[in-house]
Structure 1
Amino acid sequence: MSLITISGFPCSGKTRRAEQIKAALESRIQDAGFEGTKLKVAVLSDHILNISRDVYKDSRAEKPARGALFTAMQRQMGQDTILIVDGMNYIKGFRYQMYCAARELKLRVCTVYVVATQELCKEWNSKREDGTAYAPETLENLLMRYEEPSSMVRWDSPLITVPWVDDDVPADDIWKAITEGNVKPPNAGTQAVPKAPTDALRALESTTAAMVSAIMAEQAASASLGGLVALTMPNALRPTVTLPPRNVTLSELQRLKRQFVTVNKKAITLGTIEKGAMDWSEESIASKYAAYIEENLKP
């Protein structure tokens, strides 16, 4: 359904805002007037995953912790779930990674930026007595490294800002973003590329060579000039090709064969052609090579 990314300074009140968002969304879903499909609202955070605040003291420990959060997020995302990721999410590259994962599943996205001054964050951190406080030097370091979300970039949009002075979150704006916002297609660069079968190159070479031989044999046997020619080939293939009204030479056919094979060798190497629509069977190769000959042979 959708992914809501919470971002903000450490100790800025993100968890409280995540709880407010969850309560507001569940209220709308459970309302008698709601006509949509049954949805569940889930919250994911460092606390839920038992990730200690101490990991932020060391970048080597922080990286696998971020990976654990991302993996858990991927497991919970789905068409029947509104997932709220409650965390600093302070690195813009990580927010982009989350955005791409949501696009892969064709989910709507929304970023909620929880705003508080650095002085307030330090004050609130110092008052924590439940063992969730950051060490002062860690907090200072995280505040300096924080990369603020921007509505100008696609992975942070739509961006909804919630300042510390507001008593509640703008539930209407968030609901509209996750239910009416555009569902963007997955990035082309992240799509799995259809791979050609392992014998595609052999089939390409042997089929085109057999067709050249069959065309030359047919011309010699029938002494016909041009028109639709049915070729007799190995493996019970019977492709047809329309030849020009003249005698086609072996050098012409060999030249076209080299061109056709070169183009399709590249497709085999890259793993796709025509957005993966290429059929690498001998029958398909023969049909495509016949069309290539008809298009490129001079009258």
Structure 2
Amino acid sequence: MPTVTAAPDADLIAQAVGRLTARTRYPVAFGGMLRDDGVHVTAVSGARTHNLDALVVQPGRGLGGRAVIETRPRLTLDYRTAKGITHDYDRMVLGEGIATLFAVPVLVEGAPRAVLYCGSWGQAPADRVAAGPAFAIADEVATELRIRDEVDRRLARIPHSDRTTVSAATQEELREAYAQLRQISASVKDPALRMRLAEVEHRLAALSVDDAPIELDIALSRREIDVLACAALGSTNAQIGSALGLKEATVKSYLSAAMAKLDASTRLSAVARARRAGILP
């Protein structure tokens, strides 16, 4: 299990570092998010010592710092004698006994947001077979960060006033944001982020619920709520399927199941009943 210290997005980095040692040929992995003063290492996996714990790498310094500045992966097969980098972090890296070190920046919209490192105590292969999994994991982290950015952007737009003051226009925007968040959530792999999305969705739904919401002795599945949220915006079955990556027949099946559970004869009445129950905003 990776060694983890508290930091923003530390859970995401810890999961990525764990995957690096599981899916690459490198026995040591570590990584961290980029902040104002550098890359803060918050997760280490496979290390024999604690020399890498809480390492902070400044942009332009060391192998990872070069990867940040150049926004591309950097590799050295012999860290001790590498001439293309500064050696500010020799005590930490060489203290761990690392010879080969591979640094991969995590890029979001072309900008570095984190750095993932793979290392070995002896010289390791540097071919695409060895590097490919590291690239894939960096892309996975970048995808999660893009989703988090979108969630934060939408969170900032949620009104904090009492629900009775929410205008009709704002309410329609909330409903659109809710449907889009459901679509985003369907593609999220990070359990912590999925939980955060669920909390946001609950907040959005609660903004529109009546003072005396109806109580339903049923539970809609996640996909049934997904298709209802899209249907609430007036989307056709084909449009819902395109948005959620489902076949049109599958969308129809989910809608039928939701309508039956809600005791509704049409999708519009199902949406209305779901809103009164606080399931949809």
Please say which structure displays the higher CA radius of gyration.
1
What is the TM-score when the length of structure 2 is the normalising length? Answer: 0.23
What is the TM-score when the length of structure 1 is the normalising length? Answer: 0.22
